[in-house]
Chains A and B, each alone.
Chain A
């Protein structure tokens, strides 16, 4: 025995050494895994940004070459000739109205169903929530004809039939109801009753209690569902594909998908990358600003 260390110190040293041996390569590996996923996430997007300022020849050349000069005119072509500007405007209009409508009607229905017992309440709630389980593809064909028939309604028909934005807005509102009602009804149930009852006793109308007391109290829930609906409706592809068949009514996901699928010999590849960049950048900026709210909004929806 060259040194005189107590058994306790010896064991603890050994434990430290063992832990280091165990953790050393594990730590390195876990950092490598995190970095690998970072690369997997970032690089395809950066590569797209890079290609958006390349010339046609450079895109068809070496995949990783840097552009000789920055071709900003790709963006002008994507915006004007590939109509990305028009599609983006259409998307903004549709999503603005449909999210507003969804939140207004959805919170009204959820509030009544959550806090007013009446005959048929439970059945009505279940009717809304059952929509969560249906795959939208089952309804696609009849929905097409429902919207087509809406076009024949006197007076308002031309505004809500096929190939109209208002028609799509109504469909979005209807298809956003199941989740919105489900989430907000659960939320309204958790709110305290005292304030609302006091206001009713003081003579406030039910409507006024809803708009001036309950809705402001439900703000955290409202924000979560709004984020959920904005993203869902902004990214929706299936419903517009069926309901908007005239090119100038298209929304952004349709426009992006079309540029790539309508490939031909005259395909404008650099405009395609510019169009992708135009679709990605605003989302990246908005997400960076509101990432905390977006993350908690979307995951709150999943955990309810």
Chain B
């Protein structure tokens, strides 16, 4: 009896603090957000005014909201696609596709892995400010300087509404690739060497080595990468907020759901409206998670 009592006491003591913190700071805000989304609260009145689904009606008629959704959707498609393709290519070269027998990586592969990963440990705001300078529109920008020296017109990487989004995407890919090179390398390391060697003896070149062996065996890891990058694409905030003109400009050409939530809540104090946006974003995220789990249910290859 005393042992059972002790055990219960132990469980309670160990869970009390983490559960309390989690309920207060995570669960309670999330549940409140769903209610606030149905009010016109602006933070001045003590009790928010319930207005039902009005915020959502306004939201769906708001062209800036649709721009933000479009940008998130484009990132959701392009960020994983580009990052995974580039990272798979490099991981293959560094681990298997060095040419010659034995399925080794190219020389210096360790060095490349260490180097490519580095942007991953930099804070997103540091990366954003750094690229703001790299992309400067005048001759003192890292990219436009050489362009202008060659007599070409400077490119408005962040000031041209037609280009700014691609600059944001480029920086996100720049920061992410190294992580997935390392992730895929770890996946490749768990595939037995002799599988590559056997395929090579059977006459497989590097291209078929990649598409027939590497990709199918790495498929699980590629799916993990897809989900992670998808969440990154839906969650993007700091890079847009810090790097682009007018926090999502120029002319809303780079705005995303997260920047619109922050702007509505903490610039315009439209807490209800911002929460409604948050609810929409929540359903996007959950929808994406469910969808990717469904689609990824594939036969697992045993080896």
Report which A residues bind B (CB closer than 8 A).
19, 22-23, 26-27, 30-31, 33-34, 37-38, 40-45, 47-48, 51, 59-64, 105-106, 108-109, 111-113, 116, 118, 124, 127-128, 131, 133-144, 146-147, 170-171, 173-175, 177-178, 181, 205-207, 210, 231, 234-235, 237-238, 241-242, 252-254, 256-257, 259-261, 272-273, 276, 279-280, 283-284, 286-288, 291, 294-296, 298-299, 302-303
Contact = CB atoms under 8 A, between A and B. Distances in A.
Of the listed residues A113, A140, A171, A287, the one surrounded by the most CB atoms of chain B closer than 10 A to its CB is A140
Interface string B145-185: 11001000000000000000000000000100111001100
Interface string B9-46: 01101110111011011111110110010000000000
> Which interface class (under 10, 10 to 19, 20 to 34, 35 or more) fits B?
35 or more
B201 to A, nearest CB: 12
A140 B93 contact: no
Given A116-B7, A287-B118, A109 B266 contact: no
B77 interface: no
Interface stretch (B49-57, B109-117, B294-302): B109-117
A64 B146 contact: yes
B197 interface: no
Nearest to A128: B22
**Chain A at the B interface: SS class:** helix
17 contacts: A23-B206, A34-B106, A41-B115, A64-B142, A112-B10, A127-B27, A133-B289, A135-B285, A138-B281, A143-B29, A174-B21, A177-B26, A238-B258, A279-B126, A280-B122, A287-B118, A295-B114
Contacts of B129: 256-257, 259-260, 272, 276
A252 B36 CA distance: 32
A63 B205 CA distance: 44
B74 interface: no
B65 interface: no
Contacts of B252: none
Contact of A109 (B19, B242, B275): B19
A261 B242 contact: yes
A62 B32 contact: no
A299 B182 contact: yes
Given A109-B18, A116-B7, A131-B26, A273 B133 contact: yes
Contact of A30 (B106, B140, B235, B257): B106
Nearest to A290: B121
A34 B177 CA distance: 12
Interface of B: 6-8, 10-11, 13-15, 17-19, 21-22, 24-30, 32-33, 36, 86, 89-90, 93-94, 97, 99, 106, 112-126, 128-134, 136, 139-142, 144-146, 149, 174, 177-179, 182-183, 186-187, 205-206, 221, 224-225, 228, 234-235, 237-238, 241-242, 257-258, 261-262, 265-266, 271, 274-275, 278-279, 281-282, 285-286, 289
B140 A174 contact: no
B25 A41 contact: no
B198 to A, nearest CB: 17
**Chain B at the A interface: SS class:** helix
Contact of A146 (B24, B90, B183, B234): B24
Contacts of A134: 26, 30, 282, 285
Contacts of A273: 133
Nearest to B132: A260
A237 B14 contact: no
A170 B86 CA distance: 39
A118 B15 CA distance: 12
Contacts of B140: 59-63
A138 B224 CA distance: 24
Nearest to B272: A141
A131 B27 CA distance: 8
A62 B145 CA distance: 6
B262 A137 contact: yes
Contact of A256 (B24, B125, B144): B125
